[in-house]
Amino acid sequence: MRRAAVLGFPVAHSLSPKLHGYWLSHHRIEGTYEAIATAPQDLADTLARLADAGYEGCNLTLPHKEAALALMDDLDGSASAAGAVNTVHFENGKMEGYNSDGFGFIESLKAQGLGWQDATVMIVGAGGAARAIIHALSTAGARDFIIVNRTLEKAEQLARDLNIYADVRDWSGLSSALEKTGLLVNCTNLGMAGQDPLVLDLQRLNPLAGVADIVYKPLETDLLKSARKRGHKVATGLPMLIHQGRLGFKLWFGVDPEVTADLQFIMEQAAQ
């Protein structure tokens, strides 16, 4: 019986047990995936305890993703670039740290029919998710980035850390960057239930540009609603959450799990 878990604090809200539980049953794998509430000071001990008990690995959610970097024996390039670990694999007595957000985002773009290869990509935000996504997009061939963030220094630091060329702007440069943009991605908390919306007049956006939001609660943000109304292709945030889970499932249970229409429906219900 293979076992995996998600560690967070709090962790009750996590959608990961639903996601992995679906895949275990869909692929008829004898395994378990549980949520374990883990206070920050207990992270190292809990990881060691799970490894000793024969678990395959775990997901990490708030507040552990950054703290876990220092606890890993090996870091995949995805985790060091993102500066955060969200997937851990216990392998040959070692803890290997990965970050699957960038992979999840790219797979979600593919699944929703949005391209990035020849586009100027405008990323709004410069936090952990933006880091993971820019790293994944540049690894997957994107060359031309505009990064807009409320705190300019964080966007400048991100571009330096990832060693990419980017047109970096503060909030005042948001609207004027739209004309050059082929793919617009919201990587901030704006638009999330309980937060302010991302206020952005899309009039200057190239009609052929795609618009993606990684916020998944609500399932379709105001930004995506107005983009859809103007005829842009859009990508919602929940498929990223689903696809990012594939990496861990494959590492722990040996199968690249299927993203079925059923699963999407179940996750949409769970996310509301």
Q: How many residues does the chain have?
A: 272
Question: What angle is formed at CA 132 by the lines to CA 178 and CA 263, rounded to 5 degrees?
Answer: 95
CB nearer to ligand NAP: pick between 51 and 192: 192
Residue 116: how many other CB atoms lie within 10 Å: 22
- Kindly tell me which residue out of 151, 179, 197, 258 binds ligand NAP, with binding defined by CB under 6 A: 151
**Residues 45-74, mask of contacts with ligand NAP (x by CB under 6 A):** ------------------------------
Query: In whole angstroms, how close is the CB of 105 to ligand NAP at the nearest point?
Result: 8
Q: Which residues lie below 8 Å from residue 211, measured CB to CB, with a gap of 6+? A: 183, 184, 185, 202, 205, 223, 224, 227, 232, 233, 234, 235
Annotated catalytic residue, options 65, 94, 154, 180: 65
**Residue 83 binding ligand NAP, by CB under 6 A:** no
Stretch near ligand NAP under the rule CB under 6 A, chosen from 28-36, 66-74, 138-146, 148-156: 148-156
Query: In whole angstroms, how close is the CB of 104 to ligand NAP at the nearest point?
Result: 6
Stretch near ligand NAP under the rule CB under 6 A, chosen from 35-43, 144-152, 252-260, 263-271: 144-152
> d(Cα 21, Cα 31) in Å, to the nearest integer?
9
Amino acid of residue 28: R
CA 270 to chain centre: 18
- Kindly tell me which residue out of 51, 85, 106, 126 binds ligand NAP, with binding defined by CB under 6 A: 126
94 catalytic? Reply is no
Q: Give the DSSP H or E segment for 268.
A: helix 261-271
**Nearest residue (beta carbon) to ligand NAP:** 127
**Residue 215 binding ligand NAP, by CB under 6 A:** yes
Residue 76: how many other CB atoms lie within 10 Å: 18
How many residues belong to the site for ligand NAP (CB under 6 A)? 25
**Residue 150 binding ligand NAP, by CB under 6 A:** yes
CB nearer to ligand NAP: pick between 36 and 219: 219
Which phi and psi (to 5°) does residue 201 adopt? Answer: -80, 115
- Kindly tell me which residue out of 196, 201, 256, 258 binds ligand NAP, with binding defined by CB under 6 A: 196
> d(Cα 70, Cα 44) in Å, to the nearest integer?
10
Q: Which residues lie below 8 Å from residue 25, measured CB to CB, with a gap of 6+? A: none
Q: Is 57 left (phi over 0), alpha (psi -120 to 50) or beta?
A: left
- Kindly tell me which residue out of 129, 177, 200, 259 binds ligand NAP, with binding defined by CB under 6 A: 129
- Kindly tell me which residue out of 47, 79, 214, 223 binds ligand NAP, with binding defined by CB under 6 A: 214
Interaction site with ligand NAP (CB under 6 A) = 101, 104, 125-130, 149-151, 154, 187-190, 192, 196, 214-216, 237, 240-241, 244
